[in-house]
């Protein structure tokens, strides 16, 4: 026991620093494909990771930047549209058919540009105004894609937008797609975690807590906020491209107002405090969305009321725990740590 | 007005010029060259009037929203839901009793009661927590939208106005000149004129109530400094409930108006929530004259857009919002903080 603590005090290696829960989760996620059906891998897990990445971009803005943007789904859809327009799809009158190694960076770059423009507009406002303005921008983008036939192919959008056949692998196959989305989910999660501890992330959190003080310290508040929007746009763009590949199509329905609100629901259900919340929220949402009809039918209710079930679940969570599932978990941990007699904290016990 | 003219002489000149051009466009008989360039005057005039009446409808919805936000800082994203509920209640009242006029008070009272419930059960518990209010009202609007879809079905409903209001009426605006030299006057639906006049009356009454009465004084004081007002002994929670009920009731009335103008169906709630968001962002949060100006601008933009460049009509309204935000983030008539 003694030499263990001394080794901790001396110098921890990076691997030792990782919480055991991460190891367990990582191993489970890696070996899961051996046990479950392709439907669960492709539809459930793939979708969870994709929505998690998009919600993560909102979590980054909301949790570290204090700015709730409803335009993240619009950004994701924008990236999907860019892939369809510059890459190949069934609409070959519009699609340019460029190779993937130009299309994907170009799509992500344009998405970040769009995100910067949105951020530049949105940072002029604070708090609730930001939500309203980004919601209005998302709605404008939705209507624009629905009306524009020259570039966005209007109501129908694009279909047969497929991932490139890299290394001879069909990336839409259940195994390949599972690992593809898992890779990007873990990558964005680690990136967000890294940035939150890097100088940029710390400054951003300072700006969230007290913008005036940070400005007085010489930081450019607006530039940090706009940069946060650009980075969140990159994450949303990655999620959007994966989402387009998963359903192999992109249309105005993907970027509508309901999906934009769904992303907010996912981020809030999970909790905005920690990046893992986005994925927890996405998992709960996907499970609900996939099985709500069955649950309702088994309870003798009409299956089309699943929107009601999701809405009620969301309402209950935000009413009782503003910090989502993560908030509930923290409350539970605090309660367990508290001494039942004195009400004092018994000290931190891990897990 | 004079302050504005003194501070921005150039802008005042531009605005005056625009008003003169507009008046000329409305009253003059258009020369053939102009008709060839932009289409007949009749199209222009009906787009103008449709825009103004649509602005009246938007004002009814948005004024409640902006009043509630201005006084209580309550972000009620269920406002569109209140509008749609008012529409359904009004439709069923008019359908059962056969009286169009009765639909208005019933919708006002029912939706007003819903507003009171919202204020007492939801907003009072989370005062000052913007994000939580937003989330809870989004949740409520999802749940209630689905309940309404369940209860009222997914059909389009149209509230038909009584016979004395239906049919067009001849106005004194010349729309064109016949070969024989006879003047043709514009015909316009009576019900739209009546509704627009009603919206103006409501707006003026609200302005008078806010500026000339004791209650209005309390509300204005509450907008400026809520804590100080309650410290002076005003029972601010009751004022809050009253204002919320009134704002929600206005949304209910607007629902009946919207059902007569256009139609009510699932999805209209989001549309009108967005419209009132854009209106109050353009006009300035918490300002009634701002809501009127914003509603007029957005209504006109939507109608002129759908007539002269139909593809991007909806985008035009958002473009206005973006331009306003870029140059005047607090809205056209909003107060600088």
- Strand B168-177 with A249-250, pairing: unpaired
Identify the residue whose tokens are 């939507």: B302
Q: B205 forms bridges with which residues in the sheet? A: none
pLDDT in tens, A91-100: 777 777 777 7
Looking at A164-178, A191-205, B248-262, B293-307, which range is the least confident one?
Answer: A164-178
Rounded average pLDDT over B67-90: 84
Identify the residue whose tokens are 């519009």: A94
Q: Do A246 and A176 meet the contact criterion of CB atoms below 8 Å apart? A: no
Q: What is the architecture of the domain spanning A37-294?
A: Orthogonal Bundle (1.10)
How many residues would you count in chain A?
Answer: 351
More confident site: B36 or A69: A69
- Whether residue A305 and residue B131 make contact (CB cut-off 8 A), yes or no, is no
Rounded average pLDDT over B213-241: 82
At A229, is the pLDDT very low, low, confident or very high (cuts 50, 70, 90)?
A: very high
pLDDT at A351 over 60: no
Rounded CA-CA distance A154/A161 in Å is 16
Instruction: Give the pTM.
Output: 0.80
Rounded average pLDDT over A128-140: 81
Of B75, B131, B146, the CB nearest to A307: B146
Does residue A222 belong to the interface with chain B, where contact is any CB pair within 8 Å? Answer: no
Rounded CA-CA distance A319/B285 in Å is 26
Of A132, A257, A311, the CB nearest to B139: A311
Looking at A280-294, B134-148, B307-321, which range is the least confident one?
Answer: B307-321
Of A139, A143, A318, the CB nearest to B136: A318
Q: B131: which chain A residues are within 8 Å (Cβ-Cβ)? A: 68, 127-128, 131, 322
Which residue of A55, A63, A125, A136 is the best one to mutate when testing the B interface, meaning the one whose CB has the most B CBs within 10 A?
Answer: A136
At A115, is the pLDDT very low, low, confident or very high (cuts 50, 70, 90)?
A: very high
Q: Do B77 and B134 meet the contact criterion of CB atoms below 8 Å apart? A: yes
Q: B135: which chain A residues are within 8 Å (Cβ-Cβ)? A: 264, 268, 314, 318, 322
Rounded CA-CA distance A325/A274 in Å is 11
- Whether residue B142 and residue A307 make contact (CB cut-off 8 A), yes or no, is yes
pLDDT at A297 over 50: yes
Which residue of A70, A71, A123, A129 is the best one to mutate when testing the B interface, meaning the one whose CB has the most B CBs within 10 A?
Answer: A129
Rounded CA-CA distance A195/A192 in Å is 5
Report the candidate in B280, B302, B333 with the shortest Cα–Cα distance to residue B59: B280
pLDDT in tens, A8-20: 444 555 666 667 7
- How many degrees, rounded to 5, is the angle at CA B117 between CA B113 and CA B118? 115
Does residue A264 belong to the interface with chain B, where contact is any CB pair within 8 Å? Answer: yes
pLDDT in tens, B251-298: 998 888 888 877 888 878 888 888 888 888 888 877 788 888 889 888
Q: A264: which chain B residues are within 8 Å (Cβ-Cβ)? A: 135, 138
Question: Percent of chain A beyond pLDDT 90?
Answer: 9
More confident site: B268 or B42: B268
- How many degrees, rounded to 5, is the angle at CA B52 between CA B51 and CA B55? 85
Looking at A3-12, A82-91, B143-152, B189-198, which range is the least confident one?
Answer: A3-12
Domains and CATH numbers, chain B: 41-327 (1.10.3470)
Question: Percent of chain A beyond pLDDT 70?
Answer: 88
Note the pLDDT of residue A340: 66
Burial class (CB in 10 A: 0-12, 13-18, 19+), B115: buried
At A5, is the pLDDT very low, low, confident or very high (cuts 50, 70, 90)?
A: very low
- Measured from the Cβ of residue B200, the count of other Cβ atoms closer than 10 Å reads 14
Q: B134: which chain A residues are within 8 Å (Cβ-Cβ)? A: 68, 128, 131
At B126, is the pLDDT very low, low, confident or very high (cuts 50, 70, 90)?
A: confident
At A306, is the pLDDT very low, low, confident or very high (cuts 50, 70, 90)?
A: confident
Note the pLDDT of residue A12: 52
pLDDT at A49 over 80: yes
The full set of domain ranges for chain A reads 37-294
Does residue A301 belong to the interface with chain B, where contact is any CB pair within 8 Å? Answer: no
Close Cβ partners of A181 (under 8 Å, ≥ 6 residues apart): A45, A46, A49, A50, A242, A246
At A4, is the pLDDT very low, low, confident or very high (cuts 50, 70, 90)?
A: very low
Looking at A196-210, A299-313, B55-69, B294-308, which range is the least confident one?
Answer: A299-313
At B176, is the pLDDT very low, low, confident or very high (cuts 50, 70, 90)?
A: low
């Amino acid at each position: 026991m003694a030499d263990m603590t001394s080794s901790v005090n001396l110098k921890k290696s990076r691997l030792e620093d990782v919480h055991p829960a991460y190891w367990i989760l990582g191993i489970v996620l890696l070996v899961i494909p051996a046990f479950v059906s392709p439907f669960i891998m492709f539809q459930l897990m793939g979708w969870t990771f994709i929505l998690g990445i998009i919600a993560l971009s909102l979590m980054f803005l909301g949790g570290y930047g204090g700015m709730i943007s409803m335009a993240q789904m619009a950004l994701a859809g924008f990236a999907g549209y860019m892939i369809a327009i510059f890459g190949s799809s069934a609409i070959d009158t519009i699609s340019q058919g460029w190779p993937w190694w130009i299309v994907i960076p170009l799509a992500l770059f344009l998405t970040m540009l769009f995100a910067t423009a949105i951020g530049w507009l949105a940072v002029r406002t604070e708090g609730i105004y930001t939500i309203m303005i980004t919601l209005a921008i998302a709605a404008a983008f939705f209507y624009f894609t629905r009306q524009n036939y020259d570039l966005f192919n209007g109501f129908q959008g694009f279909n047969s937008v497929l991932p490139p056949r890299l290394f001879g692998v069909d990336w839409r196959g259940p195994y390949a797609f599972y690992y593809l989305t898992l890779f990007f989910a873990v990558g964005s999660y680690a990136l967000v975690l890294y940035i939150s501890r890097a100088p940029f992330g710390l400054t951003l959190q300072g700006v969230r807590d007290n913008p005036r003080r940070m400005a007085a310290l010489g930081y450019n508040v607006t530039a940090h906020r706009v940069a946060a929007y650009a980075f969140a746009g990159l994450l949303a763009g990655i999620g959007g491209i994966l989402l387009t590949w998963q359903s192999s199509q992109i249309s105005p329905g993907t970027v509508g107002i309901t999906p934009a609100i769904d992303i907010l629901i996912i981020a809030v259900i999970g909790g905005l405090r920690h990046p893992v919340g986005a994925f927890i929220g996405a998992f709960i949402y996907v499970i609900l969305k996939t099985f709500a009809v069955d649950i309702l039918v088994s309870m003798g209710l009409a299956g089309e009321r699943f929107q009601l079930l999701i809405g009620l679940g969301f309402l209950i969570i935000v009413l009782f725990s503003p910090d989502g599932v993560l908030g509930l978990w923290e409350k539970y941990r605090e309660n367990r740590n508290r001494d039942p007699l004195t009400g004092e904290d018994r000290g931190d016990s891990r897990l | 007005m004079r302050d504005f003219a003194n501070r921005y002489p150039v802008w005042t000149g531009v605005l005056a010029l625009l008003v003169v051009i507009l008046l000329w466009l409305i009253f003059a008989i258009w020369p053939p060259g102009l008709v060839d360039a932009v289409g007949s005057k009749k199209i222009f005039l009906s787009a103008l009037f449709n825009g103004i009446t649509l602005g009246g409808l938007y004002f009814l919805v948005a004024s409640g929203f902006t009043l509630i936000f201005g006084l209580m800082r309550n972000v009620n994203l269920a406002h569109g839901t209140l509008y749609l509920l008012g529409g359904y209640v009004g439709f069923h009242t008019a359908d059962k009793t056969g009286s169009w006029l009765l639909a208005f008070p019933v919708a006002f009272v029912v939706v007003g009661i819903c507003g009171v419930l919202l204020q007492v059960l939801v907003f009072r518990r989370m005062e000052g927590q913007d994000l939580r209010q937003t989330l809870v009202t989004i949740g409520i609007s999802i749940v209630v939208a689905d309940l309404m879809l369940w209860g009222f079905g997914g059909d389009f409903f149209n509230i038909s106005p009584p016979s004395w209001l239906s049919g067009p009426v001849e106005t004194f605006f010349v729309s064109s000149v016949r070969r024989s030299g006879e003047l043709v006057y514009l015909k316009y639906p009576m019900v739209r004129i009546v509704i627009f006049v009603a919206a103006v009356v409501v707006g003026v009454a609200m302005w008078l109530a806010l500026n000339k009465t004791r209650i209005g004084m309390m509300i204005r004081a509450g907008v400026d400094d809520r804590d100080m007002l309650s410290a002076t002994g005003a029972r601010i929670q009751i004022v809050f409930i009253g204002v919320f009920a009134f704002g929600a009731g206005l949304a209910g009335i607007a629902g009946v108006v919207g059902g007569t103008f256009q139609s009510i169906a699932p999805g209209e709630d989001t549309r009108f929530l967005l419209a009132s968001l854009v209106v109050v962002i353009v006009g300035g949060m918490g300002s009634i004259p701002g809501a009127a100006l914003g509603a007029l601008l957005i209504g006109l933009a939507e109608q002129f857009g759908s007539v002269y460049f139909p593809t991007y009509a909806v985008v035009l309204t958002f473009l206005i919002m973006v331009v306003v935000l870029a140059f005047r983030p607090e809205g056209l008539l909003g107060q600088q903080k």
